[in-house]
A and B are shown apart, each in its own frame.
Chain A
């Protein structure tokens, strides 16, 4: 610094001289410097812009891919639902309407019986009374004749009439009784017909409900197949919900597995020893963990074999005979492991008592601990938990499947978010670098205001116009 100020005997003069020299040099180098600065700014702008476009393109590709995956998953899920609905309809038709011919026959027989009874119960018109002709004969006789014996005839007629009336009444009562008996016989037939028709009505209603449900699912399925935005949006939000719900259930399952682990890790030391280590971990702990993991795996296979989950297509595609065998094998292994766990839980309790007794002896508390008559409850509870937890863990397969499927969508959405943010940052950097180039060029001109003013007076201020052009 001292050297710079000592080129003349007066430091101020030296400084002024240097300023003039520097400004002159900067002014002379100005066009080249501006070109360099602006070119650098533009180059950076283009670079960031290309990078941003590339990221946007990647985001679009990922978005499309996510959309495809989401639609494929939705399509598969809908197919499963529709398939299940058809299975249910098939089951209903097979179970309830399978014996429709018998039902129809019963119905026809009942109707025939009712028809027979009805025709038998028809009221027969009574025979025309015999005394009518006698009355006509009496009426045709001449009244002037005043024949003897008319009164007797009329008396006989009256007797016959009373007798005929009695007989007719008896016959009528008998026939009415028969008709009523037939009508009574028809009542259960009517009830049977009513019940049968009610049953058929319920089945038909159930089928109608199922068919309307299928219609709704088919509509959604069509939307998915067409790839409509609404369907994608619904599937996406459903995936988010499934993801969080399945994550919560999996956390609960992990808690269950931890409890299970603590139940069997301690007594496992009786089997594999308590001192040996594998990779820094106790062999007993690893063995307990392996048992739990094997149980979970068996649970997965069982659920796959039952076709409740579809994580392994190979299992789902197995022939039914082999699949049923697999169900029995996995269930048997699970049952054995659950029994082993129950035994280990019992062993844990025994060891705990033994340890308590030893601790009491070493503390000098008189040897044997106080026997608790209710201790069997904790033992039974531990054994029960040891037996039940492996089966409970079997159901982890369901949330696990949902978690795995929804995770794909969630990761895709997160990746899209990251790419979108990266693209935004790159665009900002691109624009920023361009304007920073212009700013640096302006700052370059700041100390050169005197020569620039001079040049502008001569050239008409073209420099700022050029700058603005570059900036725009």
Chain B
């Protein structure tokens, strides 16, 4: 009889205990270097699309890629959505407004520190601890570090999805396409070597699979 009571209590407690998290964490890196700044309108569209896909308890952050991207100062906007629908809608509108302001006022940076941004993304998402972690890199993936910046660092991207968006071809890529393919290959090797999953989406009309 006691055993039955204990089983019942355990079942009740198991039923009431918080279930495992099923929220999503998204960190989007937006390249603002050189001519890529002109692509920011597209980035804004992707951000808005991502906002429409996210829901209660999801985390979302947008950060710029500039000379030194491993910094909280580069985070343009960040939010962890509330669990009440009305508040979520308000948060989404505020977030979209912040991003619009950023797109209007963004300045072009002389260097491109993608690795630093990725490190910052990993740190942010690990801190938030969502069930699914996604890093969106809106860039041509051409890293150009200022002298003195050390980015030869090992990542731990276990459980991360890293998605490169709108990886445009540079003029030099047109001359020698191997450069472009090599660049993509290097990033893929870097991400997958660190335990992450790598994906490239260049057709921005086909974002349905994103998030």
Please indicate the chain B residues that have their CB under 8 angstroms from the CB of A351 in the complex: 85-86, 89
Closest-by-CB residue of A relative to B11 is A279
Q: Are B85 and A269 in contact (CB under 8 A)?
A: yes
B132 to chain A, nearest CB (A): 14
Bound form: Cα–Cα A145–B84 in Å: 143
Contact A275 B57, beta carbon cutoff 8 Å: yes
Q: How far is the CA of A359 from the CA of B83 in the complex (A)?
A: 18
- Cβ of A278 under 8 Å from chain B: yes
Chain A residues within 8 Å of B55, by CB: 274
- Convert B3-31 into 0s and 1s, putting 1 for each residue whose CB lies closer than 8 angstroms to a CB of A: 00000000000111011000100000000
A273→B52 contact, CB < 8 A = no
State the interface size on chain A (CB cutoff 8 A): 23
Chain A 342-366 residues near chain B, CB threshold 8 A: 350-351, 354-355, 357-359, 361-364
Choice from B16, B56, B84, B92 contacting A358 with Cβ under 8 Å: B92
Minimum CB–CB distance from A341 to chain B (whole Å) comes to 18
Which residues in window 139-196 of A have CB below 8 A to B?
Answer: none
Given the known interface contacts A278-B15, A362-B49, the answer about A273 and B96 at a Cβ–Cβ threshold of 8 Å is no
* Nearest residue, chain A, Cβ from B87: A270
Q: How far is the CB of A369 from chain B (nearest CB, A)?
A: 12
- Is the pair A269, B83 in contact by a Cβ cutoff of 8 Å? yes
Contact among B45, B85, B96 for A270, CB-based, below 8 A: B85
Of the candidates B19, B55, B92, the one having the most CB atoms from chain A within 10 angstroms of its own CB is B19
Q: Is the C-beta of A460 less than 8 angstroms from some C-beta in chain B? A: no
A364 proximity list for chain B (CB < 8 A): 45, 48
Q: Does A266 contact B (CB under 8 A)?
A: yes
CB of A270 within 8 A of CB of B92, answer: no
Most buried by B among A267, A274, A275, A355: A275
Binary B-proximity of A275-288 (CB < 8 A = 1, otherwise 0) = 11111100000000
Contacts of A274 in B (CB 8 A): 55-57, 83-85, 88
Q: Is B201 an interface residue (CB 8 A)?
A: no
* Highest count of chain A CB atoms <10 Å: which of B57, B89, B93: B89
A277 and B19 within 8 A (CB)? yes
Give A269 to B19 CA distance when docked, in angstroms: 17
Contacts of A350 in B (CB 8 A): 86
Q: In the bound complex, do residue B93 and residue A361 qualify as a contact, i.e. CB atoms below 8 Å apart?
A: yes
* A276 contacts B83, C-beta separation under 8 Å: yes
Please report the C-alpha to C-alpha distance between residue A350 and residue B85 in the assembled complex, in whole angstroms: 11
Chain B window 74-109, contacts with chain A (Cβ cutoff 8 Å), 1 for yes, 0 for no: 000000000111101100110010000000000000
Dominant secondary structure at the A interface: helix
Query: Is B51 an interface position by the 8 A CB rule?
Result: yes
Whether B16 pairs with A278 at a CB distance below 8 angstroms is yes
The answer on a CB contact under 8 Å between B89 and A355 is: yes
Given contacts A275-B83, A351-B85, contact A358 B93 (CB under 8 A): yes
Beta-carbon contact of A354 and B89 below 8 Å: yes
Chain B contacts for A269, CB-based, 8 A: 56, 83-85
Highest count of chain B CB atoms <10 Å: which of A270, A274, A277: A274
- 1/0 per residue, CB under 8 A from A, across B123-161: the answer is 000000000000000000000000000000000000000
Closest residue of A by beta carbon distance from B45: A364
Q: In the complex, A275 Cα to B23 Cα: how many Å?
A: 9
Alpha-carbon separation in the docked complex, A351 to B87 (Å): 10
B84 proximity list for chain A (CB < 8 A): 269-270, 273-274
Is the beta-carbon distance between A277 and B85 smaller than 8 angstroms?
A: no
A356-380 vs B: 1/0 string, CB under 8 Å?
A: 0111011110000000000000000
- Cβ contact within 8 Å between A276 and B96: no
Q: Are A359 and B52 in contact (CB under 8 A)?
A: yes
Q: Which residues of A contact B49 (CB under 8 A)?
A: 362
Chain A CB within 10 A, most for which of B14, B51, B84, B85:
B85
Residue ID in chain B nearest A348 by CB atoms: B85
In the assembly, what is the distance between CA of A7 and CA of B19, in Å? Answer: 78
Q: Which one of A270, A277, A362 lies within 8 Å of B52 (CB-CB)?
A: A362
- Which residue from B45, B56, B85, B88 sits with its C-beta under 8 Å from A266? B85
Q: Which of B14, B18, B84 has the most CB of A within 10 A?
A: B84
Which B residues from 28 to 76 make CB contacts under 8 A with A?
45, 48-49, 51-52, 55-57
Please list the residues of chain B having a beta carbon within 8 angstroms of any beta carbon in chain A: 14-16, 18-19, 23, 45, 48-49, 51-52, 55-57, 83-86, 88-89, 92-93, 96
- 24 A-B Cβ contacts within 8 A? A266-B85, A273-B56, A273-B83, A274-B83, A274-B84, A274-B85, A274-B88, A275-B23, A275-B57, A276-B18, A278-B16, A279-B14, A279-B16, A350-B86, A351-B86, A351-B89, A354-B89, A358-B92, A358-B93, A362-B49, A362-B52, A362-B92, A364-B45, A364-B48
Return the 7 tightest CB-CB contacts between A and B, nearest first. A273-B83, A277-B19, A274-B56, A275-B57, A279-B15, A275-B83, A362-B48
16 new A-B pairs (CB below 8 Å) besides A350-B86, A362-B49, A364-B48?
Answer: A266-B85, A267-B85, A269-B56, A270-B85, A273-B83, A274-B83, A275-B56, A276-B83, A277-B18, A278-B19, A279-B14, A354-B89, A357-B89, A358-B92, A361-B93, A363-B52
